[in-house]
Amino acid sequence: MLSPDQNAALSELEAHPNWPLRSCAVTDELGEFVIDPDLFYTPGAANERDAKKVCLSGCPVLAACRAYALGGSGWWESDGVWGGMTADERRAERRAQKKRRARLARQGDKRPQPTENWEPSPAQASLLQALAEQPDLRAAAETMKRPYPNVRWVYAQMCEQLGFHSDELTVPALLEEAAKRISGERPSGPELEAAA
């Protein structure tokens, strides 16, 4: 049974204007699901990988679905693949959110100093290429055939060299910042002014 807060969040997700167009609910001309809905709840690495591919293939409600699944105070979606994340990944993200809140409480919004004339190292360039193909760190680690903790470390190092904490940039934002710096453009805006 859903809590009132979770029920309200699910209703909000289902009211999203693109909810009927979500990738996991594509139907054929007879109204039958093209993708078996059980795929998203069937354990196993291969099934989870296939379910995540469906989510990450351009689903118009990916962000809203992920936000719902990460939950609110006292609840979260504990089973299945939602928003391109497995239950284990959502658990890890919720822990990271707690750490992020704790860091902000301790340090405020003080950012690392960006590295002048930054150019990506070979490992960073490889990661940027993998993330451009699929904006997900775990998928990038698989593509690069590298352990996820190593890829996560390269990502965090790159974020800091760009003047950000790794927990404050989304993958698309990192790609955008890296592209600006590689092209020689000096990033501007409130984020960098605060970091300078």
* SS3 state at 33: strand
pLDDT tens across 50-83, in order?
999 999 888 999 888 988 888 876 678 888 999 9
The secondary structure of residue 16, as a DSSP letter, is S
pLDDT tens across 81-117, in order?
999 999 888 888 888 878 877 877 777 667 788 888 8
Read off the pLDDT of each residue in 190-196 and give the average, rounded to a whole number.
42
Q: What is the extent of the structural domain holding 150?
A: 122-195
Shared domain check, 102 and 170: no
Read off the pLDDT of each residue in 121-146 and give the average, rounded to a whole number.
91
Number of Cα atoms under 13 Å in the Cβ half of residue 73: 2
The secondary structure of residue 164, as a DSSP letter, is S
pLDDT tens across 17-45, in order?
888 889 898 888 888 889 999 999 998 98
Shared domain check, 25 and 70: yes
Q: What is the pLDDT of residue 3?
A: 75
Q: Is the pLDDT of residue 191 over 50?
A: no
Predicted TM-score (pTM) of the model is 0.57
Greatest mean pLDDT among 8-12, 70-74, 178-182: 178-182
Residue 50 one-letter amino acid = D
Query: Is residue 14 included in any domain, yes or no?
Result: yes
Shared domain check, 100 and 8: yes
Shared domain check, 59 and 145: no
Shared domain check, 97 and 26: yes
Query: Is residue 19 included in any domain, yes or no?
Result: yes
